Amino acid sequence: MDAGLSGLSGLSGLSGLDLPRDAPGTGPARAPAISCRNLQVRFFTEHRTITALQGLNVDVPTGEFLTLLGPSGCGKSTLLRVVADLVQPNHGEVRVFGALPQVARLNRDIGFVFQDPALLPWRNALQNVELPLQVAVNRVRRAKATPRELLELVGLKGNERAYPHELSGGMRQRVSIARALASDPKILLMDEPFGALDEITRERLNEELRRVWRELGITLLFVTHSIHEAAYLGQRVLMMAANPGRVHAIVPVELPPDRTPALRESREFIALTSELRRLLGAC
Amino acid sequence: MSVPFADVHPAPAAGDAEQARFDAMQLRARWRRRLMPAIGITGLIALWWAVVAGFEVRPFIAPSPWAVAQTLFAKRDVLLANLLPTAGEALGGFLIGNLAAIAVATLFVHSRRLQEIFFPVVVMFNSIPVVAKAPILVLMMGNGVEPKIAIAALVCFFPTLVNSVRGLEAVNPQAMELMRVLSASRSEIFFKLRLFCALPYLFSALRIAASMAVIGAVVGEWIGATQGIGAMIIQATYNFDSALLYAAIIMSACLSGCFFMAIVLLERAIIRWHPESA
């Protein structure tokens, strides 16, 4: 079956960026999109304190595809939520384009895709994608692509009027990605977006996500439990360890920018996933 | 551009016979669902008749179904004339009680403190039986239509309040986080998210409230009213006119049924999505 983005050439004008763009560290030094210094986040429950993040330092250059990999409870999701201004750190400093996360949120610099697509069941696919344009209207920044074009971008042309209960799990997550893109974010945060999908759908969506990212030129942080996903998608893998949540290793992904399913069987890919698995074992 | 997950269901020619058999089965099942309740009701009436005739129950203790049917027809003018005020009171109470409940639920959802202070008070009031609240309200509001509406409103209020609060809070946490990422205001979260999430809960409360409102109005009419189904019930009881008593009860049951059906139809018209599917 053909991938949903095959007809995208007609849409490539909407990014304003030339393809291919990849390879971190090339060109002039880019200002970090996100920088965290000595970040600490703690949650309190009745019986104990959970240190979700402790002394975390990380810089994410603008335009990077960073995957976050680690065991459960290592604070990957918390890190995304701090960047999105959904969780306040107890200590340390977070800057998004040099400003507080709150500023970035109010500027609509941030798009968030959750594990649960969280579509509104009373809105059809198109109306769900339009939601960000109808909320906090004075802050709205429109993507160059219309909601209809965004649905086409994620391979859902022809399903605009379908309601969430009429869509498969993979299609719902595609709608949720289109929705996150509707208000033209500079940073897309994805929290295990494909975690609940079957492997076939997941691999297809991985490829399409790579293409969407290259098309739009946004900074992308992607949380996953899957070693293969982390290796296939990212330019770097931020590996985290639990108790307390911290950076365990940052692994550059030295794979070509044009990634196809065949890559998964290449020697380099297998070497990389073995390396990641070895590092995870030492977490 | 091809659509990777487009749902394509070409009807296989070979399966047509099976499809037809399946359709026929569905049709039979639908008729069964209609027929079975009718059998139940007919059976109940037949049993009633058999008991009254077989044990020679005297008419002032329990009338035969036929006597009730005759009364329903013969006194239809009086019955309808008394049904109208009851229906008006029930409807008024239904509207006032539910609107108040939705308003209070909205307040409760936006102020945890208000909810903490006033919810126990509401629960306490609700634990007073309707028949005990009715005389108090008649004393306060006189013998007009007002106390009946007030009682109907009071009995509607509680189920709708509880369900609306639950519904308004039954928001998918990730949808809530999405609204925060979008910097949505409280009113946007309310009108674009909470209200829709609450609608299925609200309608199940309204279905309960529809019959409760009629009960409230009838109970209100028991105390010193001269017209209405409730007043008829009291008068017929004192006159040992059991046929009229049963006829009045059937009228009030029909009224509840109509209210209930109206709510069900309204719900079907408004909620066209599958809740909890996304």
- A12 in any annotated domain: no
Q: How confident is the model at residue B12 (pLDDT cuts 50, 70, 90)?
A: low
What mean pLDDT comes out for the span B247-266?
Answer: 94
In chain B, the residue whose alpha carbon lies closest to the alpha carbon of A181 is: B182
Q: CB B278 to CB A152 under 8 A?
A: no
Residues forming beta bridges with residue A190, ordered by sequence position: A113, A222
- Same domain for A160 and A172, yes or no, is yes
In chain A, the residue whose alpha carbon lies closest to the alpha carbon of B176 is: A118
Distance separating alpha carbons of residues B61 and A183, to the nearest angstrom: 73
Q: How confident is the model at residue B144 (pLDDT cuts 50, 70, 90)?
A: confident
- Same domain for A245 and A190, yes or no, is yes
Q: CB A112 to CB B193 under 8 A?
A: no
Please report residues of B whose CB lies closer than 8 A to that of A172. 278
What pLDDT, on a 0 to 100 scale, did the predictor assign at position A17?
40
Q: CB B183 to CB A105 under 8 A?
A: yes
What pLDDT, on a 0 to 100 scale, did the predictor assign at position A102?
94
What ipTM did this prediction achieve?
0.84
Q: CB B3 to CB A121 under 8 A?
A: no
- A272 in any annotated domain: no
Looking at A185, A215, A233, the residue that finishes a domain is A185
- Same domain for A246 and A221, yes or no, is yes
Distance from CA of B115 to the nearest CA of A (A): 23
What pLDDT, on a 0 to 100 scale, did the predictor assign at position B14?
56
Looking at A185, A219, A238, the residue that finishes a domain is A185
What digits encode the pLDDT tens for the residues A193-213? 998 888 888 998 999 899 989
Query: β-strand A49-61 against A32-44: which pairing, if any?
Result: antiparallel
What pLDDT, on a 0 to 100 scale, did the predictor assign at position A30?
56
- Same domain for A203 and A248, yes or no, is yes
Q: Closest partner residue to A7 among B1, B172, B182, by Cβ?
A: B1
In chain A, the residue whose alpha carbon lies closest to the alpha carbon of B200 is: A122
What digits encode the pLDDT tens for the residues B183-222? 999 999 999 999 999 999 999 999 999 999 999 999 999 8
What digits encode the pLDDT tens for the residues B82-140? 999 999 999 999 999 999 999 999 999 999 999 999 999 998 988 888 888 888 888 88
- Same domain for A248 and A180, yes or no, is no
Residues forming beta bridges with residue A66, ordered by sequence position: A221, A236
Least confident of A17-31, A262-276, B103-117: A17-31
Q: CB B182 to CB A131 under 8 A?
A: yes
Q: CB A159 to CB B3 under 8 A?
A: yes
Distance separating alpha carbons of residues A125 and A133, to the nearest angstrom: 14
In chain B, the residue whose alpha carbon lies closest to the alpha carbon of A171 is: B5
Res. A14: pLDDT tops 50: no
Distance from CA of B264 to the nearest CA of A (A): 18
Q: What is the CATH number of the domain that holds A100?
A: 3.40.50.300
What mean pLDDT comes out for the span B68-85?
Answer: 93
Distance from CA of A204 to the nearest CA of B (A): 10
Distance separating alpha carbons of residues A253 and A24, to the nearest angstrom: 10
Contact A280, A71 (CB under 8 A): yes
Query: What's the CATH class of domain B65-270?
Result: mainly alpha
Secondary structure of chain A in the HEC alphabet? CCCCCCCHHHHHHHCCCCCCCCCCCCCCCCCEEEEEEEEEEEEECCCCEEEEEEEEEEEEECCCEEEEECCCCCCHHHHHHHHCCCCCCCEEEEEECCECHHHHHHCCCEEEECCCCCCCCCCCHHHHHHHHHHCCHHHCCCCCCCHHHHHHHCCCCCCCCCCHHHCCHHHHHHHHHHHHHCCCCCEEEEECCCCCCCHHHHHHHHHHHHHHHHHHCCEEEEEECCHHHHHHHCCEEEEEECCCCEEEEEEECCCCCCCCHHHHHCHHHHHHHHHHHHHHHCC
What pLDDT, on a 0 to 100 scale, did the predictor assign at position B267?
94
What pLDDT, on a 0 to 100 scale, did the predictor assign at position B8?
47
- Same domain for A178 and A205, yes or no, is no
What mean pLDDT comes out for the span B23-31?
Answer: 92
Token representation of residue B147: 């106390």
- Interface size between A and B, measured as CB pairs under 8 A: 104
- A70 in any annotated domain: yes
- A105 in any annotated domain: yes
Q: Closest partner residue to A163 among B1, B174, B273, by Cβ?
A: B273
Q: CB A136 to CB B183 under 8 A?
A: yes
- A173 in any annotated domain: yes
- A214 in any annotated domain: yes
- A220 in any annotated domain: yes
Counting the structural domains of chain A, the total is: 2
Distance from CA of B177 to the nearest CA of A (A): 7
Q: Closest partner residue to B188 among A136, A165, A170, by Cβ?
A: A136
Q: How confident is the model at residue A15 (pLDDT cuts 50, 70, 90)?
A: very low
Res. A282: pLDDT tops 50: yes
What mean pLDDT comes out for the span B228-244?
Answer: 93
Please report residues of B whose CB lies closer than 8 A to that of A132. 182
- Same domain for A46 and A178, yes or no, is no
Percent share of chain B, pLDDT over 90: 76
Distance separating alpha carbons of residues B147 and B89, to the nearest angstrom: 9
Mean model confidence pLDDT for chain A: 86
What pLDDT, on a 0 to 100 scale, did the predictor assign at position A114?
94
Q: CB B178 to CB A118 under 8 A?
A: yes
Percent share of chain A, pLDDT over 70: 89
What pLDDT, on a 0 to 100 scale, did the predictor assign at position A148?
94
- Same domain for A105 and A220, yes or no, is yes
- A45 in any annotated domain: yes
Distance separating alpha carbons of residues A147 and A142, to the nearest angstrom: 9
Q: How confident is the model at residue B276 (pLDDT cuts 50, 70, 90)?
A: low
What mean pLDDT comes out for the span A138-142?
Answer: 82
Q: CB B4 to CB A134 under 8 A?
A: no
Distance separating alpha carbons of residues B201 and B165, to the nearest angstrom: 9
- Same domain for A47 and A168, yes or no, is no
Q: How confident is the model at residue B13 (pLDDT cuts 50, 70, 90)?
A: low
- Same domain for A199 and A235, yes or no, is yes
Q: Closest partner residue to A4 among B3, B179, B184, by Cβ?
A: B3
| Closest of A10, A74, A62 to residue A215, by C-alpha | A10
Res. A2: pLDDT tops 70: no
Q: How confident is the model at residue B2 (pLDDT cuts 50, 70, 90)?
A: very low
Distance separating alpha carbons of residues B193 and B187, to the nearest angstrom: 10
Please report residues of B whose CB lies closer than 8 A to that of A157. 1, 3
What digits encode the pLDDT tens for the residues A221-239? 999 999 999 999 999 999 9
Distance separating alpha carbons of residues B260 and B249, to the nearest angstrom: 16
What digits encode the pLDDT tens for the residues B39-59? 999 999 999 999 999 998 888
Distance separating alpha carbons of residues B249 and B236, to the nearest angstrom: 11
In chain B, the residue whose alpha carbon lies closest to the alpha carbon of A6 is: B1
- Same domain for A191 and A101, yes or no, is yes
Res. A21: pLDDT tops 50: no
Q: How confident is the model at residue A8 (pLDDT cuts 50, 70, 90)?
A: very low
What pLDDT, on a 0 to 100 scale, did the predictor assign at position A16?
38
Distance separating alpha carbons of residues A117 and A179, to the nearest angstrom: 10
Q: CB A156 to CB B174 under 8 A?
A: no
Q: Closest partner residue to A155 among B4, B174, B272, by Cβ?
A: B4
Residues forming beta bridges with residue A96, ordered by sequence position: A34, A99
What pLDDT, on a 0 to 100 scale, did the predictor assign at position A261?
86
Res. B36: pLDDT tops 80: yes
What pLDDT, on a 0 to 100 scale, did the predictor assign at position A94?
94
The parent domain of residue A138 ranges over 117-185
Least confident of A231-235, B160-164, B272-276: B272-276
Q: CB B278 to CB A118 under 8 A?
A: yes
- Same domain for A91 and A51, yes or no, is yes
